[in-house]
Structure 1
Amino acid sequence: MANIRDVARMANVSIATVSRVINGSENVSDETRKKVLNAMKKLNYKPMMSFKTNERQLFKTIGILFPDIRGYHYSDIVMAIEEYAYSKGFDIMLALPKGEPDLEKHVLDQYFRRKVDGVIIGELYGGQKLIDRFVKSAIPMVVVDFAVEEINFDIVSVDNVGGGYAAIKHLYNNGHKKILFIPGPDNSPAALDRERGMRRFLDKVTGKDKVEIYYGTHRGYNSEHGWVSVTRHLQEHGLNFTAIFAVNDWAAIGAIDALKDQGLKVPDDVSVIGFDDAPFANYTNPRLTTVMQPRWEMGTTAAQLLIERILEKKTRLPRNIILPTKIVERESVKDIKPSE
C-alpha cells in the first residue's frame, strides 16, 4: 500500500512538498503540483483522515454541497446522487449553506480537512474562488448546475441558455409579443443563463416582429417573487402584456395566483410558461407549460463521473456534459395569433 514517502520518491520531491499539494497550498509551482498529482494517481494513493490513528478511511465518502433541498430541484438531484453512490459502496455527506458564501466556505473547509474522497458542488453564491483549493489538490470534484470560467474539473449542467431561448420562442410562436419576465436571483448562474437565452432570441426578432419585455420588480425563485412582481406591475402599468415567462415553476405559480387575485384568467387573458417541470406542474389549474430539466439524470451523471475519477488510476481531461432541456406543452399558454 503506497504512502506519502512513495509519492515523494516517485515525484522526486520532498514529503513536505507532497503535503503542501495535498492541502492545496499556493506555495507550489504548477509543474511540481502536476508531478505530485500524477504520482498519486499512478500509486493510487489517497490521503489519510486527519485523526490520531494510522488506520485508513474504511468507507469512501462523497461530500455534497447544494444551496438547499427545498422544493424539488436539488432534492431530486441529491436523491439521484445518493442512489448511485450507495450502489457503488460510497457514503455521502450533505451540506446546505442556503446561498450564504461564508457558510459555503466553512463547509468546503470542513470537507477538505476531513479528506473526503470527492466533492459534488451545486451553485456557489460565493463564486468559483471557493473551490480553487480543491482544483489545486488531489480531491476529485464535479460541479453541477453551476457556470464556471475555466473547465478544470468535470461539469454536469443543463442547457439553461437553450431553455430560456426555447421558452420565449414558444410564447412568440403563439403570437405573444408583450411579455412580462420574472427573473431569478442576480447571483444565480442558472437564472442569468435563462435570461441570456431569452435575450439571444429577442436579438433575432426586429422591426414589426420585435418583442417587448417588461421585467418583474422582484428577482427570485420563490412563489412570492412571482406574486409580488405581477401584482406591482399590474398596479403600476395595468395589463400591458399577454404572457409571462417565469424563471422557474414556483415563480410561475405565484404569478398565476396574482393574476387570479386580479380577476384575470390563465390562459384566456394571460399565458404563463415556467421552467423546471416541477412535479406539481401537471396538476395546476390550468396545467403549467414549462421547460423540463432532467434532474435525476443530472444527479446520476455527476455521481458516475466523480466515482470514476476516484477509482480510476489514469488521468483524463475534464468533461463538460450539458444535458438538453425541452418544452413540455400543457394548457397555460394560448395561441393568440390572428387567424389567416
Structure 2
Amino acid sequence: MATIKDVALRAGVSVTTVSHVVNDTRHVSAKVRERVEEAIRELGYVPSAVARSLKSNTTRTVGMLIPNSSNPYFAEIVRVVEDRCFGAGYTLVLCNTDDEPRRQSVYLQVLSERRIDGLIVVSTGDDASLATLLRGLRMPVVLVDREIDDPACDLVESAHMHGGLLATRHLVSLGHTRIACIGGPAGLAPSAQRIEGWRMALAEAGLSPAAGAGELLWHGGFTSQGGYEAMHAIARTSSPPSAVFVCNDLMAIGALRAAHESGLRVPDGLSVVGFDDIELSSFTSPPLTTVAQPKARIGALAVDMLLERIDGRRHEPRKVMLQPELHVRGSTARHAGFSEPAARRSAA
C-alpha cells in the first residue's frame, strides 16, 4: 500500500508539501499541486483518516445510539440524521443498544475510542448511569425522544403527554366511554407520559380509570408481539373496552391482528389509535389512526443542534419540545348508539 513518502518521492516534493495538498492547509502552486495529485492517482494513495484527525483534532464523524433498530420509528429518524450528516460532510456511526444498559455503555466506550466529534442518543429505558457516562465523554451530546437527568445535554423530543391527550380526546369525541390503554415498558418516560395523557383525557370527560383500571391499563414491549399479546388479554376480560389507545404504532399493528383473531371488527366493534405515525401505519387494514411525531424535524434538529455545539457556535444547552398531531384514518369510528350533542350538530 502506498504511503505519503512514496507520493513525495514520485512527485519530487517533500512529505510536508504532500500533506498540505491532501489537507488543503497551505497554498501550493498549481504546478506542484498537479504533480502531487498525479502521483496520488498513479500510486492509488489513500490518506489516513486517523492521522488527519490527530492533526486537526476532528474526525468529521458523529455517533448515534438507538434502542431498537427493528422499530421503524427509529429507522425513519436515522434516515433523516444520516442524510443531514452526509450533507454537512460528516459520517454517521450507528449503534443499536437493543434496550440493554450494558450494551449501551460498551458502545459509548467504543465510540469514544473512535474519537467521534459528537453524539446523538436515544437512551435505553433503564440506565441510571447514562448521565455519568455521557459527562465522562467530554463531547457534545444531543438526546432524542427520551430525556435523562443531565442538564448539559441538548434535547429534542415530542410532547408525549399531549399526544396521549389528543388520542384519547379523539376517542371520547366519538362517544367511547370505556377506553383501554396499552402502554410501553414500565419505567420508560415517553410511555409513562403518553399514559398520563390518556388518564388526563379520561378525567376531563369524567371517565377516570381509577375504578377497574386493572382491565383498562396494559403494558407491552413497544413491539408488535407486545401489542398482540396485550390485545388478546384485553379481549378476554369480562367487560372489553370499545376503544384502545396504543402507545406506539408497532404495538397497534399487533393489536389489530389480535382484534381480528378475537372476532373484534375494527372500527365497528373496536376503535384503535396508535402513536408515532410510522410509514406502515397507513398501510394496515384498516389504515391506523395515530398520533404523528414530527420525525423529519426531530432528526434534522438533532443534527443541527449537534453541529452548532461541535462548531462552537453555541455553548449553552438547548431543549426543544415539538408538538405531535392526530392523523385520523380508518381504525376509529363512532361508538354504536352514540349521537353528537345537539349544539355540535347545529354548529356543523
1:280 aligned counterpart, secondary structure:
helix
- 2:246 match: 246
Report runs of 4+ in structure 1 exceeding 4 Å deviation. Answer: 209-213
- 1:329 match: 328
Aligned-partner Cα distance in 1 for 2:148–2:277:
25
Could you say which structure has the greater relative contact order, defined with CA pairs below 8 angstroms and 6 or more residues apart?
A: 1
TM-score w.r.t. the length of structure 2 is 0.76
Aligned-partner Cα distance in 2 for 1:137–1:226:
37
- 1:223 match: 224
- 1:105 match: 105
Q: Which has the larger radius of gyration?
A: 2
- 1:33 match: none
Aligned-partner Cα distance in 2 for 1:328–1:150:
33
- 1:293 match: 293
RMSD: 2.3
Deviation at 1:240, TM superposition (A): 2.7
Stretches of structure 2 that go unaligned for 5 or more consecutive residues are 1-48, 343-348
Instruction: Give the conservation status (yes or no) of the 8 Å contact 1:123–1:189.
Output: no
Deviation at 1:200, TM superposition (A): 2.5
Aligned sequence identity (%): 28
TM-score w.r.t. the length of structure 1 is 0.78
For 1:274-319, what per-residue CA distance to the aligned partner results, in whole angstroms no more than 9, with x for missing partners?
Answer: 111121221222111110011121111100110111012x553211
Deviation at 1:216, TM superposition (A): 5.3
From the superposition, tell whether residues 225 and 189 of structure 1 become closer, same or farther in structure 2 (CA, over 3 Å).
Answer: same
For 1:25-45, what per-residue CA distance to the aligned partner results, in whole angstroms no more than 9, with x for missing partners?
Answer: xxxxxxxxxxxxxxxxxxxxx
Matching of residues 185-334 of structure 1 within 5 Å: 185-206=185-206, 209-210=207-208, 214-215=215-216, 217-235=218-236, 237-312=237-312, 315-334=314-333
Aligned letter for 1:140?
P
- 1:130 match: 130
Instruction: Give the conservation status (yes or no) of the 8 Å contact 1:50–1:113.
Output: no
Instruction: Give the conservation status (yes or no) of the 8 Å contact 2:276–2:292.
Output: yes
Aligned-partner Cα distance in 2 for 1:54–1:84:
25
For 1:202-228, what per-residue CA distance to the aligned partner results, in whole angstroms no more than 9, with x for missing partners?
Answer: 33333xx55675345542211222221
Aligned-partner Cα distance in 2 for 1:275–1:113:
37
Instruction: Give the conservation status (yes or no) of the 8 Å contact 1:216–1:233.
Output: no
Deviation at 1:56, TM superposition (A): 4.1
2:204 aligned counterpart, secondary structure:
coil
Instruction: Give the conservation status (yes or no) of the 8 Å contact 1:178–1:243.
Output: yes
Larger mean Cα displacement after TM superposition, 109-118 or 81-90: 109-118
For 1:22-71, what per-residue CA distance to the aligned partner results, in whole angstroms no more than 9, with x for missing partners?
Answer: xxxxxxxxxxxxxxxxxxxxxxxxxxx998x9544563111111112213
- 2:39 match: none
Aligned letter for 1:244?
V
Aligned-partner Cα distance in 2 for 1:117–1:210:
48
Aligned-partner Cα distance in 2 for 1:61–1:335:
51
1:333 aligned counterpart, secondary structure:
coil
Stretches of structure 1 that go unaligned for 5 or more consecutive residues are 1-48
Instruction: Give the conservation status (yes or no) of the 8 Å contact 1:104–1:126.
Output: no
Deviation at 1:232, TM superposition (A): 2.1
Aligned-partner Cα distance in 2 for 1:90–1:138:
19
Larger mean Cα displacement after TM superposition, 330-339 or 67-76: 330-339
Aligned letter for 2:264?
L
2:264 aligned counterpart, secondary structure:
coil
Instruction: Give the conservation status (yes or no) of the 8 Å contact 1:151–1:320.
Output: no
Instruction: Give the conservation status (yes or no) of the 8 Å contact 2:161–2:197.
Output: yes
Aligned letter for 1:319?
R
- 2:64 match: 64
